[in-house]
């Protein structure tokens, strides 16, 4: 295990150097990053490099959900994403299997990175998000670290200014749910998380709060 941690540190240092040369990369709120593992990092989604941006200042191991198809591209790519902590998610399969796999990662003290929007945003605005992040955090009883990734333009370009903001943890006690939660419960928790992300990205959650109140009353 010490060797693994050493390799992880060396790799992170190399990647940090490469990314800081390629982008004008800065981090805010690093004091909000826990020193141990087993936390949910919930972030907005802007580019394929988002998992790397989030990982660089974190000193503990991370896990990510990745489309099952990515594990069949070629053996080298498969080994790479597995080394980065990715685990496959099959589309069309039951959500509980994915949630159980995610909870097991957290129980092993690995951090879990989730992009609740489910797809990349090309406008920079934060979308509504899905309730899976709330269900995972609540069932595992883990704190959530909201993350905001900010850069101009619809796509990430070399030389772009990238700011990664880490917000104050949302405590597990604030994400408690009943044994058999109904959709309204999960929406309320999800909206708490999405509002925290939106505040980091857009600086003002007034509009998000308006949308949130409306969304809770809607039937999906």
* CA-based nearest residue to 141, from 114, 103, 167, 109: 103
Query: Cβ(127)–Cβ(103) under 8 Å?
Result: no
Residue 25's H or E segment, with its range, is strand 24-28
Q: Rounded to two decimals, what is the model's pTM?
A: 0.84
Tokens of 13: 């240092």
CA distance 191 to 29: 21
Domain layout of the chain by residue ranges: 2-64+91-217
DSSP state of 67: E
Query: Cβ(169)–Cβ(42) under 8 Å?
Result: no
Q: Are strands 24-28 and 161-166 parallel, antiparallel or unpaired?
A: parallel
Query: Cβ(54)–Cβ(115) under 8 Å?
Result: no
CA distance 69 to 56: 26
For every residue of 101-168, DSSP letters joined together read HHHHHHHTT-EEEE-TTSS--SSS------THHHHHHHHHT--EEEEEEE-SSSS--TT-EEEEEE--
Is 63 exposed, middle or buried, given 0-12, 13-18 or 19+ CB atoms closer than 10 A?
Answer: buried
CA distance 218 to 215: 5
Tokens of 189: 């928790």
Instruction: Give the model's pLDDT for residue 12.
Output: 72
Provide the residue-wise pLDDT of the chain in tens; the chain has 220 residues: 555 556 666 777 787 888 889 999 999 999 999 999 999 999 999 998 898 899 889 988 888 877 777 677 777 667 766 766 777 776 555 567 778 888 888 998 999 999 999 888 999 999 989 888 889 999 899 999 999 999 999 999 999 999 999 999 999 999 888 777 888 899 999 999 999 999 999 986 554 444 444 454 444 4
Determine if residue 3 is left, alpha or beta; phi over 0 gives left, psi from -120 to 50 gives alpha, anything else beta: alpha
Instruction: Give the model's pLDDT for residue 33.
Output: 97
CA distance 209 to 190: 12
């Amino acid at each position: 295990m010490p060797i693994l941690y050493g390799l992880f540190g060396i790799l992170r240092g190399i990647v940090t150097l490469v990314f800081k040369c390629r982008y004008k990369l800065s981090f805010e709120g690093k004091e909000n990053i826990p020193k141990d593992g087993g936390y949910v990092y919930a972030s907005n989604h802007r580019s394929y490099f988002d998992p790397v941006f989030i990982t660089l200042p974190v000193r503990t191991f991370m896990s990510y959900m990745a489309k099952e198809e990515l594990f069949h591209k070629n053996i080298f790519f498969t080994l790479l994403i597995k080394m980065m902590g990715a685990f496959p998610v099959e589309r069309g399969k039951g959500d509980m299997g994915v949630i159980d796999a995610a909870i097991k990662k957290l129980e092993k003290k690995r951090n879990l990175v989730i992009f609740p929007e489910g797809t990349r945003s090309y406008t920079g605005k934060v979308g509504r998000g899905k309730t899976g992040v709330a269900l995972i955090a609540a069932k595992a009883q883990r704190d959530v670290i909201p993350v905001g990734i900010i850069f101009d333009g619809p796509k990430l370009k070399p030389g772009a200014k990238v700011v990664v903001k880490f917000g104050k943890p949302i405590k597990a006690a604030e994400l408690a749910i009943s044994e058999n939660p109904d959709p309204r419960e999960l929406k309320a928790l999800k909206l708490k998380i999405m509002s925290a992300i939106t505040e980091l990205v857009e600086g003002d959650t007034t509009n998000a709060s308006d949308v949130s109140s409306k969304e809770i009353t809607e039937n999906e």
